[in-house]
Structure 1
Amino acid sequence: MTSTRLDHVVLWVADPVAAAGFYAEAVGLEPLRVAEFAAGKVSFPSVRVNEETILDLAPHDFAGHMRMVPGSADSAGHPVNHVCLALPADAFDALRARLAEHGVPLSDIGHDSFGARGEAVRNFYFRDPDGNVFEARHYDT
């Protein structure tokens, strides 16, 4: 590894099992540790974005364990502004169709939105069932 990478983002969710189901079925991400969470063996499940990045799905009652810096426990229920997923064009189209099939409200398609790799060709936004906002985009044509 020669550069800094994004390892994970922790999202606060009301029901981690339901959230994992949403991300697996509607978004197409691989669920991780869901059975272990349901059995009480781990504190939260996750979903895999790619080989290097996951989203942790933390239940609100996990906030008491967030003591790494003062005030961390107070973050429960405060979603970030949004998380952006960059996809190839075909996966972008497939995600939009899958979300629509699941009845997820979608923003209009935007164009030329700036991001980590410059101007994206297309983008759109959606919310998960807990109100976390996601942007999907692609840079290639």
Structure 2
Amino acid sequence: MTKNTTRFDHVVLWVADPVAAAAFYEKAVGLETIRVAEFTEGKVAFPSIRVNEETILDLAPHSFAPRMKMLPGSADSAGHPVNHVCLSLPVDAFDALRARLEDHGVPVSDIDTGLSGARGNAARSFYFRDLDGNVFEARHYDD
């Protein structure tokens, strides 16, 4: 696994019942579940599904929506099938993307550190919207 190439890290899906959704993805689709027990014990906000060694699907309950404050209006995405798409980039591409977005007047969130993803905790991440309102997260991992 290479941490410094552009690729999908995770996609967050809104679901009515994260445990039932995890069971579907495990049983009907054949994917590995992650953190289901921790979710049911209240230790994590949502369970995940491993797509491959580098990509996961997070199964966010609709009740998680009020916590989505990275951009104004983000909580309004609850009920839509996808909350946001995360792109993992090399550090120089991460910095270049943020600069390009700012140069084009695209609002970006503050930088977060240590957010969990498919390959552990990211060094830095931020959020932005495309022209259609789709929310993207950009992140990079330490080398």
CA RMSD, aligned part only?
1.4
Structure 2's unaligned 5+ residue stretches are 86-143
**Which of 64, 68, 71 is 1:69 aligned to?**
71
| CA deviations over 1:20-47 (Å, ceiling 9, x no partner) | 0000000011000000000111000000
Query: Partner amino acid for 2:44?
Result: V
- Output the CA distance in 2 between the equivalents of 1:26 and 1:51: 20
Amino acid at match of 1:43: A
Matches of 2:62 and 2:5, distance apart in 1: 33
Give the percent of matched residue pairs that are identical in Structure 1 and Structure 2.
Answer: 78
Aligned positions of 1:15-94 closer than 5 A: 15-80=17-82
Residue 69 of structure 2 aligns to a residue whose secondary structure is: coil
Amino acid at match of 1:15: D
Which of structure 1's runs of 4+ aligned residues deviate more than 6 A?
A: none
Corresponding residue for residue 123 of structure 1:
none
Q: What amino acid is the match of 1:29?
A: L
- Residue 124 of structure 2 corresponds to which residue in structure 1? none
Which amino acid in the other structure matches residue 72 of structure 1?
Answer: S
Is there any run of 5+ residues in structure 1 with no aligned partner, and where?
A: 84-141
Number of matched residues?
Answer: 81
TM-score, length basis structure 2: 0.55
- State the 1:2 CA deviation: 3.8
TM-score (norm 1): 0.55
Structure ranking higher on relative contact order (CA contacts 8 Å, 6+ apart): 2
Residue 14 of structure 1 and its aligned partner are, at CA, apart by: 0.4
CA–CA separation in structure 1 for the residues paired with 2:63 and 2:79: 10
